[in-house]
């Protein structure tokens, strides 16, 4: 017995303490509880790792209680740890601990301090629940729970309308995905009679392809919602309204990768549904390119990284879709390192510039915030796939697998990699090079923020060597031997370097060039600058018809017209009839008596006519 339940329970205790008593506790104690609960959770993961032996050969399975039982069907509250879960546990608790430490510095001067950490701990609880789950329903509990925490934390600055709107958008868009997930679960229950991973995956090869394809596509719909893929990616860029540590933890490193994790977990279903696999790959690739092009022209530093996250998640789905599950997970891990670092670094930059997020009002920060500059350079190198950084290995694994699947996918992926390098370094040059164009005096962040950044910078650079995920997962997802192709690797590295060089040329050597390009290609520029008007298209085709329909048909028509009409009509009619009937109630006793007499006479006449004799006629 490994007592896996302790891993999510610790953050939950932190949530309870901070959530209930946080208002009265001193900040130092809130910090201690919030950070300690997650660090202890990490320690317990470590303990499980040390003592559980080879979880690949003997997964840890723990059953706590039977949740739902109905005839043959039964769902238990089960946790399981195999190698995939182990990796996810380390990523979630490890990155989670670092971000909690960072947040104590970043959020120091914010209102609702305890509320922030309570939500963050609650998020950890649900996320750990999600990765530990041994059946779809428990996974779904975590899945919905992280969505809730995402909503709460995006809308953390709830006095800002844009923040609450962004929270609502994230929540509502995710409803669509979760609808797909629910349908997939229903299909699984109907066809497999169970939701437990072991039994579903064992039975999957024998099922008809059509059913597996339907299940896989519905699961994919769920994943596109949670992991911000086309067509449901629109909520993620808006989610940057939340505090930066939230963007790093939830909207870059952990929650948004839940879709990738879920698809990898369901590999047994996906691999037997080739059409679904192809769809996953295409959606991933399309999202990668699409988001990368939008990222090229964003001026808000967090928006750049948000679109970058969407794009990198696209890479992971590409990996999953072409059958390189372990490569997808590898990229998930390295992306968690360097994207968390990018966001936390961006938070440090925003902190340095007194809350400014527009990169056009930054610049020259390398002088004022050298450590931030250094760690962001590490992250940018990693995401650009610079040789021997973590991103180089994982992106290469995906692109190699994509080439083996279909060469054109590789080429699109490589061009996207070039764009990735370009926009990340563009942000870097705009922030750290040149002259400072903002207000006030920029300053370096405290060490509670820089410490986690340095750790993440180390992981971003060395993560590829330290965690060779495909090797770890080899027993689950065998990698085809001899797939190494140094030409392909070389090409993608060259594209990355070209991207970096081009951004240096355009934003450092010749800063007037971007503007002249924007004017000469103004149509294209406007299209991309306005994010392809996707939000506007969704507003026009889905949101506004829904709002208008709800207002005219449902509100004015059904609610006010029909329901209120019936209720009010019944009321008015009762009053009218009562108005007539109350005239009988004259208050004159003798008239009542007369009515009684007349009534009895009438009754007698009726009884006589009907022949009721009351026994007298015998």
Partner 1 sequence: MAQLLEVFNSGVPITWYLLLSAVLFALGVAGFVMRRNIITVFMCIELMLNAVNLSFVAFANQHRQVSGHIFTFFVMVVAAAEAAVGLAIILTVFKNRETLNIDEIDSLKN
Of 486, 582, 610, 611, the one binding partner 1 (CB under 8 A) is: 582
To the nearest whole angstrom, how small is the minimum distance from the Cβ of residue 573 to partner 1?
19
Name the nearest CA neighbour of 186 among 175, 195, 177.
195
Of 206, 482, 523, 587, the one binding partner 1 (CB under 8 A) is: 587
Phi, psi of 202 (to 5 degrees): -70, -35
Site for partner 1 in 6-65 (CB under 8 A): none
> Residue 39 contacts by C-beta under 8 Å, 6 or more apart in sequence?
97, 100
Of 512, 588, 610, 611, the one binding partner 1 (CB under 8 A) is: 588
539-578 footprint of partner 1 as x/- string (CB under 8 A): ----------------------------------------
Identity of the residue, 546 or 597, whose beta carbon is nearer to partner 1 in the bound complex: 597
Check: CB of residue 197 under 8 Å from CB of residue 80: yes
Check: CB of residue 255 under 8 Å from CB of residue 131: no
Is residue 594 within the footprint of partner 1 (CB under 8 A)?
yes
To the nearest whole angstrom, how small is the minimum distance from the Cβ of residue 604 to partner 1?
12
Identity of the residue, 50 or 589, whose beta carbon is nearer to partner 1 in the bound complex: 589
Identity of the residue, 26 or 587, whose beta carbon is nearer to partner 1 in the bound complex: 587
Q: Give the chain's length.
A: 618
Is residue 535 classed exposed, middle or buried when 0-12, 13-18 and 19+ CB atoms within 10 A define those classes? middle
Of 28, 585, 609, 614, the one binding partner 1 (CB under 8 A) is: 585
Of 590, 611, 617, 618, the one binding partner 1 (CB under 8 A) is: 590
To the nearest whole angstrom, how small is the minimum distance from the Cβ of residue 178 to partner 1?
59
How far is Cα 454 from Cα 378, in angstroms, rounded to an integer? 10
Tokens standing for residue 128: 């750990």
> Stretches 18-26, 179-187, 295-303, 590-598: which one binds partner 1 (CB under 8 A)?
590-598
Neighbouring CB atoms inside 10 A of 235's CB total 23
> Residue 272 contacts by C-beta under 8 Å, 6 or more apart in sequence?
204, 205, 207, 209, 212
Check: CB of residue 116 under 8 Å from CB of residue 103: yes
Identity of the residue, 512 or 580, whose beta carbon is nearer to partner 1 in the bound complex: 580
To the nearest whole angstrom, how small is the minimum distance from the Cβ of residue 609 to partner 1?
20
Identity of the residue, 466 or 593, whose beta carbon is nearer to partner 1 in the bound complex: 593
How far is Cα 424 from Cα 147, in angstroms, rounded to an integer? 28
Identity of the residue, 487 or 588, whose beta carbon is nearer to partner 1 in the bound complex: 588
> Stretches 178-186, 443-451, 460-468, 588-596: which one binds partner 1 (CB under 8 A)?
588-596
Name the nearest CA neighbour of 395 among 263, 238, 284.
284
Identity of the residue, 161 or 583, whose beta carbon is nearer to partner 1 in the bound complex: 583
How far is Cα 387 from Cα 384, in angstroms, rounded to an integer? 9
How far is Cα 399 from Cα 401, in angstroms, rounded to an integer? 5
To the nearest whole angstrom, how small is the minimum distance from the Cβ of residue 614 to partner 1?
12
Identity of the residue, 190 or 589, whose beta carbon is nearer to partner 1 in the bound complex: 589
> Stretches 248-256, 330-338, 561-569, 581-589: which one binds partner 1 (CB under 8 A)?
581-589
- State the angle between helix axes of 209-226 and 161-192 in degrees (0 to 180), rounded to the nearest 10: 160
How far is Cα 436 from Cα 377, in angstroms, rounded to an integer? 18
Of 480, 597, 602, 604, the one binding partner 1 (CB under 8 A) is: 597
Tokens 């209720």 — which residue?
A: 567
Identity of the residue, 552 or 586, whose beta carbon is nearer to partner 1 in the bound complex: 586
To the nearest whole angstrom, how small is the minimum distance from the Cβ of residue 584 to partner 1?
9
Is residue 168 classed exposed, middle or buried when 0-12, 13-18 and 19+ CB atoms within 10 A define those classes? middle
To the nearest whole angstrom, how small is the minimum distance from the Cβ of residue 608 to partner 1?
15
To the nearest whole angstrom, how small is the minimum distance from the Cβ of residue 579 to partner 1?
10
Of 172, 593, 603, 607, the one binding partner 1 (CB under 8 A) is: 593
Give the C-alpha distances (Å, rounded to integers) separating 431 from 435, 508, 581: 9, 11, 83
To the nearest whole angstrom, how small is the minimum distance from the Cβ of residue 583 to partner 1?
7
To the nearest whole angstrom, how small is the minimum distance from the Cβ of residue 576 to partner 1?
15
Of 24, 109, 575, 583, the one binding partner 1 (CB under 8 A) is: 583
Identity of the residue, 66 or 586, whose beta carbon is nearer to partner 1 in the bound complex: 586
The full DSSP string for 414-426 is: HHHHHHHHHHHHH
Neighbouring CB atoms inside 10 A of 579's CB total 9
Of 190, 512, 589, 610, the one binding partner 1 (CB under 8 A) is: 589
How far is Cα 38 from Cα 100, in angstroms, rounded to an integer? 8
To the nearest whole angstrom, how small is the minimum distance from the Cβ of residue 588 to partner 1?
6
Name the nearest CA neighbour of 320 among 277, 374, 376.
277
How far is Cα 164 from Cα 242, in angstroms, rounded to an integer? 10
Identity of the residue, 522 or 594, whose beta carbon is nearer to partner 1 in the bound complex: 594
To the nearest whole angstrom, how small is the minimum distance from the Cβ of residue 577 to partner 1?
15
Footprint of partner 1 (CB under 8 A)? 582-583, 585-590, 593-594, 597
């Amino acid at each position: 017995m490994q007592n896996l339940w302790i891993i999510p329970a610790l953050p939950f205790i932190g949530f309870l303490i901070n959530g209930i008593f946080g208002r009265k506790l001193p900040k130092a104690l809130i910090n201690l509880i919030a950070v300690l609960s997650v660090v202890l959770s990490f320690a317990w993961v470590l303990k499980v790792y040390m003592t559980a032996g080879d979880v690949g050969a003997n997964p840890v399975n723990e059953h706590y209680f039977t949740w739902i039982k109905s005839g043959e069907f039964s769902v238990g509250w089960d946790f399981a740890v195999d190698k995939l879960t182990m990796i996810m546990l380390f990523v979630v608790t490890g990155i989670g601990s670092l971000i909690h430490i960072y947040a104590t510095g970043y959020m120091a001067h914010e209102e609702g301090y305890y509320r922030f950490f309570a939500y963050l701990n609650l998020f950890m609880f649900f996320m750990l629940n999600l990765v530990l789950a041994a059946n779809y329903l428990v996974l779904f509990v975590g899945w919905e729970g992280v969505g809730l925490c995402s909503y709460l934390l995006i809308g953390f600055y709830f006095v800002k309308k844009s923040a609450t709107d962004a929270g609502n958008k994230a929540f509502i868009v995710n409803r669509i995905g979760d609808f797909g997930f629910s349908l997939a679960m229903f299909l699984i229950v109907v066809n497999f009679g169970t939701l437990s991973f072991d039994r579903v995956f064992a039975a999957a090869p024998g099922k008809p392809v059509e059913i597996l394809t339907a299940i896989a596509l519905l699961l994919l719909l769920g994943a596109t919602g949670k992991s911000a893929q086309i067509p449901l990616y629109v909520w993620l860029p808006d989610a940057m309204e939340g505090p930066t540590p939230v963007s790093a933890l939830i909207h870059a490193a952990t929650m948004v990768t839940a879709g990738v994790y879920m698809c990898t977990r369901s590999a047994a279903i996906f691999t037997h549904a080739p059409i679904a696999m192809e769809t996953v790959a295409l959606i991933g690739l399309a999202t990668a390119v699409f988001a990368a092009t939008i990222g090229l022209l964003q001026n808000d530093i967090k928006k750049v990284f948000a679109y970058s996250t969407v794009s990198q998640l696209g890479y992971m789905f590409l990996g999953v879709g072409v059958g390189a599950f372990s490569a997808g997970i590898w990229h998930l891990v390295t992306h968690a390192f360097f994207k968390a670092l990018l966001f936390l670094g961006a938070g440090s930059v925003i902190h340095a510039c007194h809350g400014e997020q527009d990169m056009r009002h930054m610049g020259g920060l390398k002088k004022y915030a050298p450590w931030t500059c250094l760690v962001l350079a590490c992250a940018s190198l990693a995401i650009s796939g610079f040789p021997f950084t973590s991103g180089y290995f994982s992106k290469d694994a995906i692109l190699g697998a994509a080439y083996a699947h279909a060469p054109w996918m590789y080429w699109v992926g490589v061009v996207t990699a070039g764009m990735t390098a370009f926009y990340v370094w563009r942000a870097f040059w705009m922030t750290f090079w040149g002259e400072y164009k903002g207000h006030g005096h920029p300053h370096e962040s405290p060490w509670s923020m820089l410490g986690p950044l340095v750790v993440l910078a180390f992981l971003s650079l060395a993560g590829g060597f330290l965690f060779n995920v495909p090797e770890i997962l080899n027993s689950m997802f065998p990698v085809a031997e001899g797939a190494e192709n140094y030409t392909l690797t070389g090409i993608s590295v060259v594209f990355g370097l070209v991207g970096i060089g081009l951004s240096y040329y355009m934003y450092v050597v010749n800063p007037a060039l971007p503007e002249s390009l924007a004017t000469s290609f103004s149509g294209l520029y406007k299209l991309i600058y306005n994010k392809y008007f996707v939000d506007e298209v969704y507003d026009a085709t889905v949101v506004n018809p829904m709002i208008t329909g709800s207002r005219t048909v449902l509100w004015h028509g059904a609610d006010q017209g029909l329901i209120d009409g019936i209720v009010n009509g019944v009321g008015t009619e009762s009053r009218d009839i009562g108005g007539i009937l109350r005239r009988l109630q004259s208050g004159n006793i003798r008239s009542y008596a007369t009515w009684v007499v007349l009534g009895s006479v009438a009754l007698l006449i009726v009884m006589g006519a009907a022949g009721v004799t009351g026994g007298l006629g015998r």
